[in-house]
């Protein structure tokens, strides 16, 4: 298998394992990733998903360029839709995802990281959407997710020049949430532990509300927020959280 999925305590861990091609995304690998995301969605006790790439050189160097040439337009279009729909599954997962970017995250690899809820970079991480150098533009969500994350001006400059963005710049412009000082997997575990102790359904409401911020006008988004915050209030976990505050103790959330 070139896509491996395992449980590590309360975390699901997905690893792209094709290091000889810098974990490039063949269409077969994309389908495997989609199936793995479906499995994660059905895991009863996973509280976050970590996504990583095998080897120390690349998280993922993007779409498999060798598969891209001499295709019918209709197949190219379906390929883009496949990549987009597989990565969009991350939005609908009941748990948050964290991309652990070790080395190159180019093209579809950067787009996989962008589709994740959070990104942590190692000090050798390099991001890029180099499609312009191939005479292409990003096709697995990069033109839509990058500007939402770092603003249209910066996103356009990165997309239109195809230039590399190293880990430190990525952190400065908000492309990554954190840079790992030591072991990347350990940094991913620690990062996830900062939120996985909270109520899972409430975490999901928070993700849904923030997702809508990028999709709808302010006053519609505020309505969504009012509805989701009321839903959170109806859960036992909200009662427990507020009671624990008053009783000056740690809350014990039960995900309900």
**Taking CB under 6 A as the criterion, which residues in 146-185 touch ligand CAA?**
none
Q: How far is the CB of 243 from ligand CAA (least distance, A)?
A: 49
- Within residues 190-219, the interface with ligand CAA by CB under 6 A covers none
How far, in Å, CA of 229 to CA of 162, rounded?
40
CB neighbourhood size of 178 (10 A):
15
The nearest distance, CB 167 to ligand CAA, in angstroms, is 15
**Annotated catalytic residue, options 4, 67, 111, 186:** 111
Q: Does residue 81 carry a catalytic annotation?
A: no
Contacting ligand CAA (CB under 6 A), which of 34, 53, 138, 251? 138
Number of residues that bind ligand CAA (CB under 6 A): 22
DSSP characters over 9-75: TTEEEEEE--GGGTT-B-HHHHHHHHHHHHHHHH-TT--EEEEEESSSSEEE--B-HHHHTT--HHH
Binding marks (x or -) toward ligand CAA, 59..88, rule CB under 6 A?
Answer: --xxxxxx----------------x-----
Give the x-and-dash track for 86-115 against ligand CAA (CB under 6 A).
Answer: ------------------x-xxx--x----
In sign, the C-alpha dihedral spanning 254, 98, 159, 2 is negative
Dump strand ranges (E) for the chain: 3-8, 11-16, 48-53, 58-60, 96-101, 104-106, 118-121, 126-128, 165-166, 178-179
Annotation marks residue 131 as catalytic: yes
> Which residues of the shown chain bind ligand CAA in the complex (CB under 6 A)?
21-22, 24, 61-66, 83, 104, 106-108, 111, 130-131, 134, 138-140, 142
Residues with catalytic annotation?
A: 111, 131
């Amino acid at each position: 298998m070139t896509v491996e999925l395992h449980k590590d305590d309360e975390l699901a861990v997905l690893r792209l394992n094709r290091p000889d091609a810098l974990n490039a995304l063949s269409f077969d690998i994309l389908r495997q990733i989609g199936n793995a995301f479906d499995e994660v969605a059905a895991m009863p006790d996973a509280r976050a998903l970590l996504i990583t790439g095998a080897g120390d050189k690349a998280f993922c160097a993007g779409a498999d360029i060798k598969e891209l040439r001499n295709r019918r337009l209709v197949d190219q279009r379906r390929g883009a839709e496949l990549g987009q729909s597989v990565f969009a599954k991350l939005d609908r997962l009941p748990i948050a995802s964290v991309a652990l970017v070790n080395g190159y995250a180019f093209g579809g690899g950067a787009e996989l990281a962008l589709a994740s809820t959070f990104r942590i970079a190692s000090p050798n991480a390099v991001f890029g959407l180099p499609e312009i150098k191939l005479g292409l533009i990003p096709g697995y969500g990069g033109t839509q997710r990058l500007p939402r994350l770092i603003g249209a001006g910066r996103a356009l400059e990165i997309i239109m020049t195809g230039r590399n963005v190293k880990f430190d710049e990525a952190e400065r412009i908000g492309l990554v949430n954190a840079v790992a000082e030591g072991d990347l997997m350990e940094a991913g575990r620690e990062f996830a532990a900062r939120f996985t102790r909270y109520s899972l359904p409430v975490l999901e409401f928070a993700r849904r509300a923030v997702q809508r911020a990028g999709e709808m006008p302010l006053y519609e988004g505020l309505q969504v927020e009012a509805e989701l915050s009321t839903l959170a209030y109806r859960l036992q976990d909200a009662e427990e959280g507020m009671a624990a505050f008053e009783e000056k103790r740690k809350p014990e959330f039960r995900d309900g």
